[in-house]
Amino acid sequence: MAKIEIVLGDITKSQVDAIVNAANTSLLGGGGVDGAIHRAAGPALLAACRPLNGCATGEAKLTPGFRLPAKYVVHTPGPIWRGGQHHERTLLANSYRNSLTLAAAHGCQTVAFPSISTGVYHFPLELAAEIALRTLQETAATTAKSVQLIQIVCFDDQTKKAYEIALAALSA
Ligand code: APR
């Protein structure tokens, strides 16, 4: 059963087999963590993304990590929060489930996630944290049994606190 850790940091520095990118459906880069990952990986990442022809919300596609310490990047567009009546919860769960499953299928034993959709996409943080952790725990026990360590890499204290509270509630 995978260990789930909540850490504060910059995911572009994560020394893991795969990092997950909170992308958009074009897969052609953007701001936030997407921009940071592309800057750190170098231009070869965009070149590898172009032929992928984008990615639907909640789906996941894998590329090499290039200049990143991580061997792979798993790109997943999370949902934009539109008030909660547009299947946002399911789509966010799909992003976590499909990303972890895809990483496991490529032999990754350690995987780092950012807090998908809680930045530019305005998904409520506490709700996102609960969905993320519940989905990761379920997936680690079913379609990603080979994954040993899952890290949620939080970029600020508020995000880290929300995920720590959600993790504690999961284990309670
Ligand atoms: N390491 C870890 N987390 C980071 C980093 C980083 N280097 N940079 C930003 N973050 C955090 C943000 O603080 C936020 O908590 O990632 C989380 C997700 O925020 P966004 O990057 O804005 O992603 P998201 O809300 O999913 O919106 C995706 O933004 O950047 C564009 O191209 C992207 O259109 C897409 C949209």
Q: What is the pLDDT of residues 58-92, one digit of tens each?
A: 999 999 999 999 999 999 999 999 999 999 999 99
Instruction: Give the H or E element holding residue 140.
Output: helix 125-140
Tokens for 143, please give them.
């379609």
Phi, psi of 170, deg, nearest 5: -65, -40
Sign of CA dihedral 86, 87, 91, 92: positive
pLDDT at 155 over 90: yes
Q: Which atom of ligand 1 is nearest to the CA of 118?
A: 25
Ligand 1: residues whose CB is within 6 Å?
10-12, 22-24, 30-36, 78, 114-121, 153, 155-156, 159
pTM of the complete model: 0.98
Residue 130: half-sphere exposure toward Cβ, Cα within 13 Å: 9
Smallest CA-to-CA distance from 13 within 46, 43, 44, 36 is with 36
Tell me the average pLDDT across 94-116.
98
Distance 169 CA to ligand 1 centre (A): 24
CA–CA–CA angle 116, 16, 49 (5° rounding)? 60
Closest protein CA for atom 14 of ligand 1: 119
